[in-house]
Copies of this chain bind each other. A is one copy, B any other.
Amino acid sequence: MATRLGEKLYELRKKRVFTLDKLAELSGLSKSYIWELENKESQRPSAEKLTALADVLGVSASYFIEEDVRQPEERHLDEAFFRNYQKLEPDSKQQLRKILDTFKKKP
């Protein structure tokens, strides 16, 4: 699993079988800039541009943004869990929240 932005972008783009041109067209960014995001270090792209790319590539913007200390596997589980949680009825959510409280870490 990719760790820095450029790798994540490249990986996703290849997975979707997009060319730079195609991704540029779909996201509204220029292909030259996408290329720079993939290949140059220390870019500081706007949240807006990242979100546009994330939308097209089918991930959340935070996937690009947040560097994470969790192992990819665990992170993946966590995100899937949260996606499922969000789809629940409010009642079920509340029940889960209560259950979570009882689990809270004891240091």
A94: nearest residue on chain B (CB-CB)?
B77
Copies of this chain, complex-wide, total 2
Write out the residue numbers on chain B whose beta carbons fall within 8 Å of the beta carbon of A66.
51, 60-61
Q: Which of B47, B77, B90, B95 contacts A47 (CB 8 A)?
A: B47
Q: Are A93 and B64 in contact (CB under 8 A)?
A: no
Report how many residues on chain A are interfacial, defined by Cβ distance under 8 Å: 37
Across the interface, which residues of B come within 8 angstroms of A47, CB to CB? 44-47, 50, 61, 64-65
Q: Is the interface of A mostly helix, strand, loop or mixed?
A: helix
The reply on A41 being an interface residue by CB < 8 A is: no
With both chains docked as a complex, state the minimum distance between the C-beta of A86 and any C-beta of chain B, in angstroms: 6
* With A44-B46, A85-B81 as contacts: A96 and B93 at CB distance below 8 Å: no
- Which among B60, B87, B104 is the interface contact of A105 at CB below 8 angstroms? B87
